[in-house]
Amino acid sequence: MKKRIIAERYASALLNVAKKNGEMEKVLEEMLFLKRLLAENPALRRFLESPHIIQEEKFNLVKKALSPLLTKTSINFLLLLGRKYRLLYLTEIIEEYQRLHDAEIAIQRTDVITVFPLDDALLERLHHTIERIMEKSVKLCCYIDPRIIGGIIIRTPNLIIDGSVRKQLVDIRYTLTALKV
């Protein structure tokens, strides 16, 4: 709960500054770059999140290593997170920024969960169908989950369509246990 609140507040503030400066897209690209960088470099993540490393060392790293790669808005944001001891929440803040950014430009994020990767043609048909039904632009995020056995799950912030074999089996089990013999 605390992580979500912190992520929402800082992501919202970053979005407001980026929007004011006309850098929403650029800041999104940079935040996604930072997210990948932290995922690929666990040592860097531990360094930034560690409470045992003094703030000045973290600030020096951000200024020297990231200044050539990021805009002033992103650098100032990272320094602010460092001063407020919030670098620990950077990944969650980035994910929330991405969600807020998509909402700002009226793109509906939709998760598609299948057992195996969908080919491009099927994914394109699914994308157009979902956009037609929802009557808005949709950004598909595809996930693989072998636990659903088969079928597909489509999840938006306010709608879940569960057409998985696992769900059907659970429904059958529920129906059978509810029968009085």
| Residue written as token pair 């999140």 | 49
Residue 124 has pLDDT above 90, yes or no: yes
User: Does pTM top 0.75 for this prediction?
Assistant: no
CA distance 24 to 19: 5
Q: Which of 103, 122, 146 lies at the terminal end of a domain, its last residue? A: 103
Q: Residues 145, 163: one domain?
A: yes
The whole-number pLDDT of residue 121 equals 93
- CATH at residue 70: 1.10.520.20
Q: What is the pLDDT of residues 48-102, one digit of tens each?
A: 888 888 888 888 888 888 888 888 999 899 889 888 888 889 889 999 888 888 8
How close are the terminal C-alpha atoms of the chain, in Å? 45
Do 119 and 53 lie in a common domain? no
**Are 75 and 145 in the same domain?**
no
Same domain, residue pair 8 and 97: yes
- Please report, for the domain that includes residue 142, its CATH number: 3.40.30
pLDDT at 116 over 80: yes
The two structure tokens encoding residue 87: 């670098």
Residue 26: count of CB within 10 angstroms of its CB: 15
CA angle 76, 79, 81 (to 5 degrees): 110
Q: Which two tokens stand for residue 35?
A: 């997210």
Contact present, 117 and 144 (Cβ < 8 Å) = yes
Indicate whether 76 and 156 sit together in one domain. no
For residues 105-131, give the mean pLDDT. 88
Domain that holds residue 44: 2-103
Number of domains in the chain: 2
In this prediction, residues 5-23 reach a mean pLDDT of 90
Q: What is the mean pLDDT of the chain?
A: 88
β-pair type (107-114, 137-144):
parallel
User: Can you give the pLDDT at residue 1?
Assistant: 60
Instruction: Based on the fold, state whether residues 87 and 126 are members of the same structural domain.
Output: no
Beta-strand relationship, 159-164 and 151-156: antiparallel
Q: What percent of the chain has pLDDT over 70?
A: 99
